[in-house]
Chain A
Amino acid sequence: MSRATHRLRHLRVAVALLVLAGFTVAFSDFRRLLPAGLGPWLASTQLIPSFVALATGALFALGGVLAILLTLLAGRVYCSALCPLGILQDVISRLADLVRRKPHRLPPAKPLTWLRQLFLWGTVAGVLAGWSGLTLALLDPYSNFGRIAATLFRPVLTLANNLLVDIAAWLALPGPNRIDVPWIGADLLVLLPAAFLVLLTVMTVLRGRLYCNTICPVGTLLGFISNRALFRLRLDQSSCTKCTECLRHCKAQCIDLRTGTIDASRCVACYDCVSACDQGGINYAFNWKPVPAGTAPVTQVNGSPIDPRRRTFLASAVGAAASMTLAGKIARAAETEATLIPALVKSGEDSRAVAPPGAGSVSRFIDRCTSCQLCVSACPTQVLQPALLEYGVAGLLKPRLDYNASFCNFDCVRCAEVCPTGAIERLLPEEKQGVQIGIADFYRDRCVVVTNGTDCAACSEHCPTKAVATEPHGDNLRLPVLHQDLCIGCGACEFACPVKPQKAIIVTGRRVHARAKRLVEKKAVQPKSTEDFPF
């Protein structure tokens, strides 16, 4: 048994490293290094995104359900092996140990149950109050990791890639392609994830998995559930010599040698204590039947007839279920609003930010997106950029289309393919090509053709639906002419427009997405093809 559980730690470390590496590459730039499906597949294992997807009916995502079943089986394995933010903390700890040159010894500590409850129920309340987008974006561990990886790791890895390009060129070997460095600058978009990483690092260095056991609502939910886990780690009092070696290795500060108990709600199932114990004193034990009060160490602390942990567990389960249902209702209401808007022309419902095609409407999108940045990393044109306040406070760091950076590639549906919450609905390419996410406005007085008297039509050239065509103008010139009903708001015209400082064609986002008209033309016959050469 001892050797078997010993191997568990190796297995946990191996899985965790693979998961962290996979996520890091996925959030950096997996188009070039990893199979396209890996990022979304990894993200589908994550609890909150898959709950959002399942509750809103957007995707049949079972990641969260499986995480709960796994926790019921063996405790918070999820927190040590599958949660990238949890694994990142373990890496930070190891790095801190390297700096200190010896492992940091954490004393056992009491659980901060009230704080955990506050954050868990605060999250539930936030979702119920209709602030799911902001609440989940701030507290979902996966999305917090995503923002750190996409904003802070990605530029560094891109620079490393570009260094490889130079080395390969020097050696005259085929190398990778140079990638534009996704640098956002020292503004809030970088400072927010950076501040979070600093907070996380300080908490980790000082108190191990304190973040997971106070702030993280997923940690708290799984913690309360693991109080009922089928298998739990248990101290074997007969072999324990109270050498405190296990305490030295416990990052959750959850082992109490005086009472001989391990607080299952805080134990993240890292198995470090198991491998640290020479005596084989810590093992997984089957724990389904509640042991009679007072006889087993596990129940000593709560031998009273009313088990507070059971109440917490039940309350958590009910709370999770209720929030999922209600979130679903809220989201479906928003969706109805989105689908009812008939075909277009300016609704007067402008949005400062352009939401990606498949978002349905800005409100639906903000409710469902957890700001994980996976689509921002995956977007081949990099038109998707995190918003600051363009969507309002609730839309903080959610992706928007930035037509200064690029434009939305007509045939591409990559963002929807990777979105783990279904906030960006998976449309078929031909559906996506008809979704009007914004509408262009043409400012004739600024157009080069008018101001300069020379041909341009960069806007029309790039327009995939030919909402921007041209008409004869002046002396053998062609002036852009815009048909707003055909415009899908992809921003190709705005991006291509050469006019400075203000462009002559500018797209405004739609609060509620609509369907653009599609112009069907007959097969071209002019100029009439002859059997001979015209010269």
Chain B
Amino acid sequence: MKTRRDFIKTGLALGAGFSFIDLGGVFAAETAPVPNGPPTPDAPRPLLVAVRDGDRVAMLDKALGTLGGIGAFVKPGQTVLIKPNMGWDVPPERGANAHPDLIRRLVTLCREAGAKSVSIFDNTCDQWERCYANSGIAPAAREAGAEIVNGKDESLYRETEIPQGVKLRSAKIHSLVLDSDVFINVPVLKHHHGTLMTAAMKNLMGVIWDRRIYHRTDLHQCIADLLTIRRPALNIIDAYHPMVRNGPRGKTADDLIELRTLLASTDIVAIDAAAAKLLGHQPDQITHIKLAAGMNLGRSDLDQVDIRRFKLA
């Protein structure tokens, strides 16, 4: 095992030597810029849109319309990264991944807004090609004009210093997260056996190369620490039929309840706080929400959030 890893490393080093893609940051740790960040904690109350009782596409359109339309986030010529939760080799009806309908619509909107490119990837838990295909996300996104990027290609990750991290001081982060003009996060709301709940913040574990570092170090703190590098400009939580037990993979569709809800916000902490309430938790019960709010990465106190509620039926 060791020999193989060493070999791969050597191979990658050699590959980097004669490849012409931008691999400048592979070995030199660097600090990433934070373009398109969310409002700072001192800014006016962040907006959170909660929509119920429509199909996913209708709820997404309503939420985006309330947030100023896709044009408020994506400008012509920009590169966009959409990070869905597609970590599991299960079909859409199992609710373990974001729904392909949402991703398809979002990609289409980004393209219509003039995005230069829209990329999709996830560092999956199950075998990546099976996850991409069986979640329905890769075919839907490709059809809508997205580029499907391999999340298991280590050469696409860059070792990045995290100076403001409390416990996570550096990590190999996917270059699309560091380099894309616009970063959109599309998780699905689920129960989680380790963190109690997984939604927007936890979904970003799929943008780093070695998740075991998180698990070994301090899972909740590392989840919060990564946000000091870059927070998504837009978070959209698919809570149409959230998984309420056996998460995050789930066993059958019986693990889901039907809420027909979608949340959207520029504030990743606020949206997770609202999502926690959907699952019957207080935001402070979810340790990474509490920690992130304490680090001023967003607001977990929903009284401090401008919530717009809509029922489509």
Verify that A and B bind, or say they do not: yes
Mark A residues whose CB is within 8 Å of B.
Answer: 31, 159, 162-163, 165-166, 169-170, 174, 177-178, 180-181, 183-187, 380-381, 404-405, 409-412, 448, 452, 454-458, 460-466, 468-470, 476, 478, 496, 498-500, 519, 521-527, 529, 533-535
Q: Please report the C-alpha to C-alpha distance between residue A463 and residue B251 in the assembled complex, in whole angstroms.
A: 9
C-beta contact mask, B16-57 vs A, less than 8 Å → 1, else 0? 001111000000000000000000000000000010100000
- Majority secondary structure of chain B interface residues (helix, strand, loop or mixed): mixed
Closest approach, in angstroms, between the C-beta of A525 and any C-beta of chain B?
A: 7
Q: Please report the C-alpha to C-alpha distance between residue A165 and residue B259 in the assembled complex, in whole angstroms.
A: 43
- Majority secondary structure of chain A interface residues (helix, strand, loop or mixed): loop
- Taking a contact as CB atoms closer than 8 A, the residue among B195, B220, B279 that contacts A527 in the complex is B279
Q: Which chain B residues border A409 with CB–CB below 8 Å?
A: 89, 126-127, 130
Q: A409-B130, A466-B246 are in contact. Are A533 and B50 (CB under 8 A)?
A: yes
B287 & A498 in contact (Cβ 8 Å cutoff): no
B193 & A461 in contact (Cβ 8 Å cutoff): yes
A524 & B255 in contact (Cβ 8 Å cutoff): yes
B11 & A181 in contact (Cβ 8 Å cutoff): yes
Q: Which chain A residues border B259 with CB–CB below 8 Å?
A: 529
Ranked nearest first, the 7 interchain pairs of A and B with the lowest CB-CB distance are: A457-B194, A185-B3, A527-B280, A498-B212, A166-B19, A170-B20, A460-B193
Knowing that A454-B221, A522-B254 touch, tell me 17 more A-B residue pairs with CB under 8 angstroms. A178-B150, A181-B7, A184-B3, A184-B4, A409-B89, A411-B89, A412-B130, A454-B220, A455-B194, A456-B216, A464-B249, A476-B285, A496-B212, A498-B213, A524-B245, A524-B257, A527-B257
B50 & A159 in contact (Cβ 8 Å cutoff): no
Closest approach, in angstroms, between the C-beta of B240 and any C-beta of chain A?
A: 12
Q: Please report the C-alpha to C-alpha distance between residue A454 and residue B127 in the assembled complex, in whole angstroms.
A: 27
- Taking a contact as CB atoms closer than 8 A, the residue among B215, B221, B244, B278 that contacts A458 in the complex is B215
| B108 proximal to A (CB < 8 A) | no
Q: Which chain B residues border A187 with CB–CB below 8 Å?
A: 3
Task: Please report the number of residue pairs spanning A and B whose Cβ atoms sit closer than 8 angstroms.
Answer: 162
Q: A31-B129, A476-B285, A521-B251 are in contact. Are A534 and B277 (CB under 8 A)?
A: yes
Q: Please report the C-alpha to C-alpha distance between residue A521 and residue B8 in the assembled complex, in whole angstroms.
A: 44
Closest approach, in angstroms, between the C-beta of A352 and any C-beta of chain B?
A: 16
A162 & B15 in contact (Cβ 8 Å cutoff): yes
| B207 proximal to A (CB < 8 A) | no
| B13 proximal to A (CB < 8 A) | no
28 CB < 8 A contacts A-B: A169-B19, A170-B21, A187-B3, A380-B129, A404-B1, A409-B126, A410-B126, A411-B90, A412-B127, A448-B216, A454-B217, A456-B216, A461-B192, A461-B194, A463-B249, A465-B251, A470-B193, A478-B196, A498-B213, A519-B251, A521-B252, A521-B254, A526-B257, A526-B280, A527-B280, A529-B259, A533-B52, A533-B307
Q: Which chain A residues border B221 with CB–CB below 8 Å?
A: 454
Closest approach, in angstroms, between the C-beta of B257 and any C-beta of chain A?
A: 5
A456 & B254 in contact (Cβ 8 Å cutoff): no
A461 & B219 in contact (Cβ 8 Å cutoff): no
Closest approach, in angstroms, between the C-beta of A48 and any C-beta of chain B?
A: 31
Q: Which B residues, 216 to 254, have Cβ-Cβ distances below 8 Å to chain A?
A: 216-221, 244-246, 248-249, 251-252, 254
B215 & A180 in contact (Cβ 8 Å cutoff): no
Which residue from chain B places its CB closest to the CB of A534 in the assembled complex? B277
- Taking a contact as CB atoms closer than 8 A, the residue among A177, A380, A476 that contacts B130 in the complex is A380
Q: Which chain B residues border A180 with CB–CB below 8 Å?
A: 8, 152
B249 & A535 in contact (Cβ 8 Å cutoff): no
Q: A162-B15, A476-B287, A529-B259 are in contact. Are A524 and B254 (CB under 8 A)?
A: yes
B244 & A527 in contact (Cβ 8 Å cutoff): yes
Q: Which chain A residues border B258 with CB–CB below 8 Å?
A: 529
Closest approach, in angstroms, between the C-beta of A407 and any C-beta of chain B?
A: 9
Identify the interface centre among A166, A409, A452, A465: most chain B CB within 10 Å of its CB. A166
| B169 proximal to A (CB < 8 A) | no
Q: Which chain B residues border A183 with CB–CB below 8 Å?
A: 3-4, 7-8
A178 & B1 in contact (Cβ 8 Å cutoff): no
Q: Please report the C-alpha to C-alpha distance between residue A183 and residue B11 in the assembled complex, in whole angstroms.
A: 11
Closest approach, in angstroms, between the C-beta of A189 and any C-beta of chain B?
A: 11
Closest approach, in angstroms, between the C-beta of B214 and any C-beta of chain A?
A: 8
Q: A521-B251, A524-B254, A526-B244 are in contact. Are A170 and B1 (CB under 8 A)?
A: no
Q: Which B residues, 275 to 299, have Cβ-Cβ distances below 8 Å to chain A?
A: 277-280, 285, 287
B153 & A178 in contact (Cβ 8 Å cutoff): yes
Q: Which chain B residues border A463 with CB–CB below 8 Å?
A: 249
Q: Which chain B residues border A526 with CB–CB below 8 Å?
A: 244, 257, 280
| B302 proximal to A (CB < 8 A) | yes
Q: Please report the C-alpha to C-alpha distance between residue A522 and residue B273 in the assembled complex, in whole angstroms.
A: 28
Q: Which chain A residues border B216 with CB–CB below 8 Å?
A: 448, 452, 456, 498-500
Closest approach, in angstroms, between the C-beta of A54 and any C-beta of chain B?
A: 32
Q: Please report the C-alpha to C-alpha distance between residue A169 and residue B130 in the assembled complex, in whole angstroms.
A: 23
Q: A412-B130, A463-B249, A521-B251 are in contact. Are A455 and B153 (CB under 8 A)?
A: no
Q: Please report the C-alpha to C-alpha distance between residue A89 and residue B302 in the assembled complex, in whole angstroms.
A: 73
Q: Which chain A residues border B1 with CB–CB below 8 Å?
A: 404-405
